[in-house]
Structure formats: C-alpha cells, structure tokens
Amino acid sequence: MRAFTPCTCWGCLMGELRSAESGDLFRLAFDLAPSGMLAVNEAGVILLANREVERLFGYGPGELLGHSIDELVPMPYRHGHGAHREGFFRQPSERRMGSGRDLNGLHRDGTEIPVEIGLNPVRTPDGVVVVASVVDISARLAAAKALRESEERVRQSQKLESLGTLAGGIAHDFNNVLLAIVGYTELVSRSLPAQQQEQDDLDNVLRAAERGRQLVQRILAFSRQREIVRVPTSLDRVVREALDLLRASMPSTIEIRSHLEGATPQVLADDTQMHQVVMNLATNAAQAMTTGGVLRVELSSFHADAAWAAKHPGMHEGWCARLSVVDTGVGMSPEVKQRIFEPFYTTKPAGRGTGLGLSVTLGIVQALEGTIEVTSAPGQGTRVDVWLPAHVAPRAVGAAPAPPEAEQRPLRILLVEDEDVLGRMERRQLESLGHTVTLHHSSPDALEVFRAHAGEFDLLITDNTMPRMTGLALSREIVAIRPDLPVLMVSGYADHAEPEVLEQHGVDAVLAKPHSARELDAAIRGLFATE
C-alpha cells in the first residue's frame, strides 16, 4: 500500500463537524460510531477512519490514515473511481443511506464486501471534505435472497396446486374414456378365436390403453390426487430394471454406464414412481445428447451432515440413498435451468415433449421427503442428483405364495353408472363373470329401487362423480338400510379419498378407472374372500 502525506486540516474539519464543545468528545463519538466512518479529501486521501471501518476492511488502528480511498475499491471498478470522485467534488450533495449507493468494497485479504454508502460533503477552509458512512450489507442481501427463494417456492407450490386440480379433472374424464376402450376391447377379444390376426390387433389396443392408464397415473401423481403407497424399497433393483428398458430403447450412439453400490440403503418409496423417476431423468439426459454421448447412472450411499442439511430445505442429518444421472449433452443456460421444473415448460420441438416429466419427478421426490439438485452449464452436460432419506428397517424376506383362487359364487349386483356407454360395458363385464346385474344411470333412481328391494342384492358397485347424488352419498344411504351390504366404488377420482371418509360412507373398497375385467373380478373376490 502506497502512503500519502495526510492533510493537516483536522482542526478545520473539527470546526465544521463537532456539535459538542470538546474535539475529544467528537473524536470519541466518531470512533465509536456503529457504522463505518471515513473522511476523505478531494485528492482521495483518507483523513479519518473509525474502528468499525477498520474492522470491516481488515486494517489495524490508524493504518488507513493517509492512504488513497481507491485502495478500498475492487480492481474492476478502481479505474473509473477517480473520475466519479472528481465529479462529486465538483457538485457535492448529500447522498443518504438507502438511496441506491450499494457497492462493493475491497477487504485487505482481497475479498469483496457488499456495502451501502452514504455521503455527506463538509466545507472547510482547505476545501470540501466528504464524510462517508459505510455499512456491511452481506447479511441483508443474504436475507433478501432467502426471502426471494422462499417466495419463489411458494409461487411454484401454488402453481402446482392449481395445475394439479386441473390435471385431476382431466384424468377423471380420461379414465372414463380408457375404461370404455379397455372394456369393450376385452369383450370383443373374448369372442374371437385366439389364432386370428384380429386378436393380435386387439391385444395391441389393450397395450396402448395400458400405456394410457400409466399416463393417467403419472398425471394423478403430479396432481397429488393419487395416494402414494410407500414401502421399504431397494433402489438397486428398481434402477437395474429401468436400465434394462433403457438399453433396449436408447439409440446406439449413447453409451450407458452404471455404478450401483450394492449396500445402498433401502428407502420408503413407491416402486412404480421410482421407476418413473429413473426413466424420466434418463430420457431427458438422452434427449440432450442428440449426436451421441455417455449416460451415467449412479446409486450410492450418502451421509448428510448438519451443514449439508441446512442447505437443502426439508432434509435432515443422517443416511440417504443418492441417485445420480449424468450426461455429456449440450447442458443448460442458467435461464433454462431455473425453469426446468415448471409444469409444461420444455425446450423440445413441438410434438417431442409435454414439459411434465421433470415436474412429475420433482413432485415424486418431494412427496418422498427427498430433494433434487441440478448442475449444468452450456456445453458441459448436466448432472441431476436425487437424495432420499434412508429407511433402516430390515429388508423384506419375500411374500408367501398366494393360495389358489376359489370359485366366486354368482352375485346379484346393483350397478350405478351415470354414463350410458360405461354402464352397459360394465354390465357386460359382470355378466361375463356369471353375475346378475341391475343397471341404473341415476343415483336417486337406484336408491328408490333399492328401498323397495333391499334384500334382493348382494353387492353395490357405483361410480362416485355423478349428478344429483354422488356415489359416496348413495353408499351412505344404502348402507343405512343394509349395513351388511358390501360396496365397491369404481371411480377415476375417488381413489384419493381418505380411508376414514370412505369408511364413514360405507365404502369397502375402491377400484380405479380404467380397469380390466380381471381386475374387476379380483376386486369383487377381495370383498367376499372372508365368506
């Protein structure tokens, strides 16, 4: 640091600034001020520096006196600082704290400090002297950043909630369409000889419908309308199954490498959803490597300490399973990276993506009390890390083999479905299983018939979302008449109802739409299994 000869205008400055009779009292007040205080002349020489400004910039008592104020300015801004100072001294005016003078100061160790500066010009016989108030605003900026991030999380949550409500409604209607496709296709399929080409065509229709059903389940998971069944899950097994599918579907220009630790802890998760997470992340990674590359999928144990947990909201200290998907693709700009989890946001061409994959992935991970982090830069590929808290329960030994199914006796079924096409299809499904079916498209009409013939039915099967009276309300009225009557609700929108709500309304089981005849038969058998 080059020394300057200090100006000997202390007495002049004192005469202008002091409001007490003693210069010593002013000196003490200046030195003990809670804000950093500097006095600088027109040449930029530091005339006064109090303890707080010395502490803030890392200097000892008196070390700043006589030195240039430019030495406290970071190098990128130092070249133009002299011109700014000269302009201010030509037309000096008070600039209060909070008037937009947020700058960076240079600490003695070379680090930059965000500071707020207030300027007060003082005229003396030797010229104008500027008294600068300097406050470290690092904590304030950090708090403001944390608040912005919190507000952004709230906005994102509200957006997901709104879109979830919309998605749930769409899924309900889509389920009805799929139920008709599956049901009528099965009815036609059973009427054809197994060797005919038409049978293969119908099987393809059913497979396409199954993919549609899986899509609806993803939408419901995104909308949080579908209950997540969490059980101790080995991610090693789930990831290996997903990799087998990926290797069959990935282009040959992409090399898949995996490193899966055998000792990775189990997590409480849903197998299907975790499979979906792996597939979504790997598919996005592959699409970022248009000319080929390397896709790495890693699974490892990770111990979260207090510092790491503090930086990842919602996470706690302890063991985690970490899933990492890394690609050598084009990478992402900061702007794209900031938006990748937004629903319906996609950088893919029209027809190539829905923008739901990563939104669904984020929703699944957060619902499992985990967190997700993305590291990417243009031209440097992308790394996505998913952390899920470990479950310390012992591994499941394996379920006992299921006993052979007993013959289901024919039942007298009251079927209530407001959509004519679906009602006729479900009646044919049930009749093909050997049951006698009374179909009604109106809940009040079904209730009136039941009141007159309550003893003539063995089972109520009802939709939930119906005009005039919902399936839940109908079930409550019917069970009040016949408490022993089993009730099966077949709905694309009721499987998220709380168990206690279903119990209060007399519903014994829920079968989600769309369903096959086999699944309908299994649901009925489950209701009568203890008989």
SS3 of 453-510: the string is CHHHCCEEEECCCCCCCCHHHHHHHHHHHCCCCCEEEEECCCCCCCHHHHHHCCCCEE
- Do residue 254 and residue 356 come from a single domain? yes
Q: Best-predicted range by mean pLDDT among 78-87, 203-212, 307-316, 395-404?
A: 307-316
Q: Does the pLDDT at position 380 exceed 70?
A: yes
Query: Residue 152: is it exposed, middle or buried by C-beta count within 10 angstroms (0-12/13-18/19+)?
Result: exposed
CB 482 within 8 Å of CB 459:
no
- CATH number for the domain including 24? 3.30.450.20
The per-residue pLDDT for 397 is 36
Q: Best-predicted range by mean pLDDT among 35-49, 220-234, 387-401?
A: 35-49
The per-residue pLDDT for 3 is 42
The per-residue pLDDT for 150 is 82
Task: Catalogue the long-range contacts made by 373-379 (C-beta closer than 8 Å, 24 or more residues apart).
Answer: 373/312, 374/332, 374/337, 374/340, 376/331, 376/332, 376/337, 377/331, 377/332, 378/330, 378/331, 378/332, 378/333, 379/330, 379/331
Count of CB atoms within 10 A of residue 34's CB?
A: 8
**pLDDT band at residue 227, thresholds of 50, 70 and 90?**
low
User: For residue range 461-472, what is the model confidence (pLDDT) as tens digits?
Assistant: 999 888 889 999
- Do residue 235 and residue 379 come from a single domain? yes
Q: How far apart are CA 411 and CA 438, in angstroms?
A: 11
* Residue 159, in any domain of the structure: yes
Q: How far apart are CA 476 and CA 506, in angstroms?
A: 6
- Do residue 263 and residue 348 come from a single domain? yes
Classify residue 390 by its DSSP letter.
B
Q: How far apart are CA 84 and CA 289, in angstroms?
A: 49
Angle, CA 285 vertex, CA 281 and CA 290 arms, to 5°: 150
The per-residue pLDDT for 497 is 61
* Residue 91, in any domain of the structure: yes
Pairing relation of β-strands 371-376 and 382-389?
antiparallel
Fill in the amino acid letter for 250. M
**pLDDT band at residue 353, thresholds of 50, 70 and 90?**
very low
> 399 or 98: whose pLDDT is higher?
98
- Do residue 493 and residue 422 come from a single domain? yes
- As a whole-number percent, the residues of the chain with pLDDT over 70 amount to 79
User: For residue range 83-119, what is the model confidence (pLDDT) as tens digits?
Assistant: 888 888 888 877 765 555 568 899 999 999 999 888 8
Q: Does the pLDDT at position 77 exceed 50?
A: yes
Which residue, of 223, 258, 279, is where some domain finishes?
223
- CATH number for the domain including 349? 3.30.565.10
Two tokens at 351? 């027809």
Query: Of the given ranges (221-225, 258-262, 436-440), which has the lowest mean pLDDT?
Result: 221-225
Which residue, of 178, 200, 223, is where some domain finishes?
223
> 126 or 521: whose pLDDT is higher?
521
> 477 or 347: whose pLDDT is higher?
477
Query: Of the given ranges (55-69, 145-159, 391-405), which has the lowest mean pLDDT?
Result: 391-405
- Do residue 250 and residue 375 come from a single domain? yes
Q: Does the pLDDT at position 237 exceed 90?
A: no
- Do residue 217 and residue 237 come from a single domain? no
**pLDDT band at residue 459, thresholds of 50, 70 and 90?**
very high
Fill in the amino acid letter for 437. V
* Residue 504, in any domain of the structure: yes
Query: Of the given ranges (261-270, 395-404, 502-511), which has the lowest mean pLDDT?
Result: 395-404
**pLDDT band at residue 53, thresholds of 50, 70 and 90?**
very high
The per-residue pLDDT for 228 is 55
- Do residue 368 and residue 447 come from a single domain? no
* Residue 153, in any domain of the structure: yes
Query: Of the given ranges (31-35, 221-225, 394-398), which has the lowest mean pLDDT?
Result: 394-398
- Do residue 157 and residue 123 come from a single domain? no
> 370 or 275: whose pLDDT is higher?
370
The per-residue pLDDT for 413 is 94
Q: How far apart are CA 323 and CA 384, in angstroms?
A: 8
Query: Of the given ranges (167-176, 342-351, 361-370, 485-494), which has the lowest mean pLDDT?
Result: 342-351
Q: Best-predicted range by mean pLDDT among 185-194, 285-294, 388-397?
A: 285-294
- Do residue 130 and residue 44 come from a single domain? yes
Which residue, of 105, 136, 167, is where some domain finishes?
136
Mean pLDDT of 26-31: 76
Q: Does the pLDDT at position 59 exceed 70?
A: yes
> 200 or 1: whose pLDDT is higher?
200
* Residue 512, in any domain of the structure: yes
Region of residue 457 (phi > 0: left; psi between -120 and 50: alpha; otherwise: beta):
beta
* Residue 399, in any domain of the structure: no
**pLDDT band at residue 401, thresholds of 50, 70 and 90?**
very low
Mean pLDDT of the chain: 80
The per-residue pLDDT for 20 is 42
- CATH number for the domain including 481? 3.40.50.2300
DSSP3 helix / strand / coil % (the chain, rounded to 5):
45, 20, 35
Q: Does the pLDDT at position 174 exceed 90?
A: no
- Do residue 132 and residue 246 come from a single domain? no
Q: Does the pLDDT at position 414 exceed 90?
A: yes
Query: Structural domain of residue 276, as residue ranges?
Result: 231-389
Query: Of the given ranges (59-63, 253-257, 329-333, 494-498), which has the lowest mean pLDDT?
Result: 494-498
- Do residue 89 and residue 191 come from a single domain? no
> 175 or 69: whose pLDDT is higher?
69
Q: Does the pLDDT at position 351 exceed 70?
A: no
Output the pTM of the full model: 0.41
The per-residue pLDDT for 347 is 60
**pLDDT band at residue 224, thresholds of 50, 70 and 90?**
low
* Residue 143, in any domain of the structure: no
User: For residue range 145-173, what is the model confidence (pLDDT) as tens digits?
Assistant: 888 888 877 776 676 666 666 666 677 67
* Residue 403, in any domain of the structure: no
The per-residue pLDDT for 389 is 92
User: For residue range 294-304, what is the model confidence (pLDDT) as tens digits?
Assistant: 999 999 888 88
Tally of domains in the chain: 4
**Which residues fall within 8 angstroms of residue 166, CB to CB, at 6 or more apart?**
223
The per-residue pLDDT for 221 is 58
- Do residue 215 and residue 279 come from a single domain? no
